Amino acid sequence: MNFLDRALPLWERETATPIFESALSRGLSIIPIPPGEKGTKLLNWPEKAVNSAEIMNGLDGWNYGVVANDTFCILDIDDPEAFRKEITVPLPATYTVKSRRGAHCYFRHSNLSKHLGNRSGGIFDFQSSYKYVVGEGSVHPSGHVYACIDPSEIVTIPDDLVAALDHYISERKARRKAGGLKAGDREDMLNYAGSIFTQEMKDSDDREKMLAMLHARNETESEVLLSDGDLRRMVQSAFKDWEPSETGPEVILSKAPANVPTVEVAEIAEVKPHLAPSRRDYLDEVAEELTQGTKLPFNFARENLKMLVLAALPKFGRPALPWFPKLHTREYLVLISESPGAGKGETFRRVQQTAARSEQEGRPWDLEFVDGNTLGSPQWACVVFGGERSKDPIKVRKPGIVVDIGPNGRIVHYDEGRKLMQQDATGKTERGLLTMFTSLFESNTHAMGSFAHGSAAVSDANVSLSMHFTRAGFDSVFTGSGATSGGFLSRCVLVVEDGQPIKGDWRKVSSERVKELIGYILDCRARKVLLQEEGVDAIRQKVMDEIAQADPLHAARLPFLFAQDLYARGMFSKEGVITVGAAWRAGDWVRHQMQLRHTIWPLDLAMDRYERMGLALRKAFLKSPNRQRTLKQMKDAAHVYRAGSGGIGVFNATVKQLLTAGEIKAIAKTHAGTPIYGWEGED
């Protein structure tokens, strides 16, 4: 039975008016709304929404709003009857509040729902982020009380429900356009904002002109008018003047202050997931089909697919980017999860099997998959890649192994990335596997040798690389290795995810659908021309400018990775066009890469744990606007309970040293009686 069928009879029942603590107890963030109204008067409310009663102090009798954010999303159903008819996927039991016309169903985000974004389907609105609904216990202008009709725990939104909402929205939009009706939504407005944001507008800092153009477009094209606040935030995003959030790494690419350490040590969970790109091309559709209804993260699948399709592109005759003519198609991919069992290996296996089945059906990919564990040494890697070893001892200066691999791409895969470093025993002497892969990424060639053992040379290797790590394993492998400043990690695409909880059996992949989509991808591979929409250059230049202004360490090779991602989005789209929307998404993608680098790149110097913990605590204080941190916040910032951090002993010793040196001091206590410390040292 559909959950709406269970809930509807309760909607006319009078219930006691609850208070906003009901939302707070569930972890939801709230904002104040004047009594009897639906709209907040709070300026910059997206940044000020909090899970705290303090925001309602002195506002007795006021309504409040519940804000969708990186953790929670809200399905606002306006027409329950039509919703049941059009969306046949059952709604699970979850915290639900009766609105005047329908219901507000609260969910925890999944990977798919984060990508869906804020969408309107006429009979419902999906609130993903920077949107809010009126909360339980508030009073509508008509006198209706927003009452709880299902007090269940807030559950993760099912992937099949997200897919059904996305499908309905796309189909409805197409029908309205065909009928000559307004069909524009927020995504269309974002694309339009990108197309009008010219270099001239940026140089003149003409925000009002851009806002006026957005309002005009909103009036003529949008089915549901976007608010002035929505449009102003688009302008703010274009000109990059968002107020920084108090928590988490900053989203905007910018130069780090000279006196603040540039290496972030925040938790993976602090990475803003709304930066992940929306699904808009064939790679996205295949990734969704392979992961929907499973615990496998969508981003694992998409980036694996991107690596494969780029590696399978022909060496000659493919379209070139005039603004990045030396773009190659090799990708080094690093998948990271907080703990084992997140689906890294299974995702790669599904993608690999997709290519293998295509080969069996007569649609070759021209790819070879190599188990990294079989390589052993750079010399043996040459043999694995197709070379021959000389039988006789070599005592002259000539290659013992000369390899010309040819045009086919190769995917070297390490299910446990740490094994690359374990095998790379000579990596720090410029002769190991890590050195070889670094060289192959840039020049597609590598050579080594000695008088005693002869030499080996690799040319035209066309090797892409895939490695899997847990977070602790990543830290232990790369900390102090020199891989950051040496440049290996700057060549890698990072994906940090954890598997989504799922009850029951996994959804079965539709082989026919995958076969259809792979056919489209292979057709795209044969393209000789790649078109570009007007407005893309302005967005591209804007992204490149941001990268140029970022600190050089964390921005290294991001222009290349941005160009490669944008190229893939256009090359493997239905139309074969680099669109304004694709440029926006590639820009968000590369900003996410920058943020991940700040968040998870280890310190390159092999400093001791006390020094690392001291830097982590200093950074935590300096990130706080009031330079204050509770004891719990300090422990979180220093990752006290993560293996390899030094634990509580190193933490206590470091805090004592900071107190003794006068860098921090206890200034207050929490309600629980634990100290609140303030930063007294130099910024």
Exposure string of 211-231, with b = 16+ CB inside 10 Å and e = fewer, is: bebbeebbeeebeeebeeebb
Domain coverage including residue 316: 275-371+462-600
Alpha helical stretches, state H, 402-557: 418-423, 433-443, 471-478, 511-525, 536-549, 552-555
Q: Domain of 675: which CATH number?
A: 1.10.10.10
Task: Evaluate whether residue 639 is within a structural domain.
Answer: yes
Q: H/E element holding 403?
A: strand 401-404
Q: Is the pLDDT of residue 558 over 90?
A: yes
Q: How far apart are CA 450 and CA 584, in angstroms?
A: 50
| 450 token code pair | 């000695």
pTM reported for the whole predicted model: 0.52
Convert the pLDDT of each residue in 309-359 to its tens digit.
999 998 778 898 888 888 899 999 999 998 888 889 999 999 999 988 888
> Do 190 and 53 fall into the same domain?
no
Task: Evaluate whether residue 596 is within a structural domain.
Answer: yes
Cβ(307)–Cβ(330) below 8 Å:
no
> Do 15 and 155 fall into the same domain?
yes
> Do 140 and 192 fall into the same domain?
no
pLDDT of residue 662: 84
Task: Quote the percentage of the chain above a pLDDT of 90.
Answer: 23
Task: State which amino acid sits at residue 419.
Answer: K
Query: Which residues, in sequence order, are CB contacts of 345 under 8 Å at separation 6+?
Result: 415, 468
Domain count, the chain: 4
Convert the pLDDT of each residue in 33-62 to its tens digit.
998 888 888 877 888 899 988 898 888 889
> Do 674 and 575 fall into the same domain?
no
> Do 571 and 634 fall into the same domain?
no
**Mean pLDDT of all residues belonging to the chain:** 78
Q: Is the pLDDT of residue 385 over 80?
A: no
Of residues 89 and 399, which shows the higher confidence score?
A: 89
pLDDT of residue 169: 86
| 654 token code pair | 């470091």
Average pLDDT over residues 282-291: 91
Q: Is the pLDDT of residue 17 over 50?
A: no
> Do 150 and 227 fall into the same domain?
no
User: What distances in angstroms separate CA 92 from CA 78, 82, 162, 558, 613, one per listed residue?
Assistant: 18, 18, 12, 42, 44
**Which of the residue ranges 169-178, 268-277, 578-587 would you say has the lowest mean pLDDT?**
268-277
pLDDT of residue 436: 76
pLDDT band at 378 (very low <50, low <70, confident <90, very high): low
> Do 506 and 563 fall into the same domain?
yes
> Do 33 and 71 fall into the same domain?
yes
Q: H/E element holding 586?
A: helix 580-600
- With the C-alpha atoms ordered 77, 78, 79, 82, is the resulting torsion angle positive or negative? negative
Task: Quote the percentage of the chain above a pLDDT of 70.
Answer: 76
> Do 228 and 306 fall into the same domain?
no
Closest listed residue to residue 636, CA positions, set 339, 268, 266, 336: 266
pLDDT of residue 486: 54
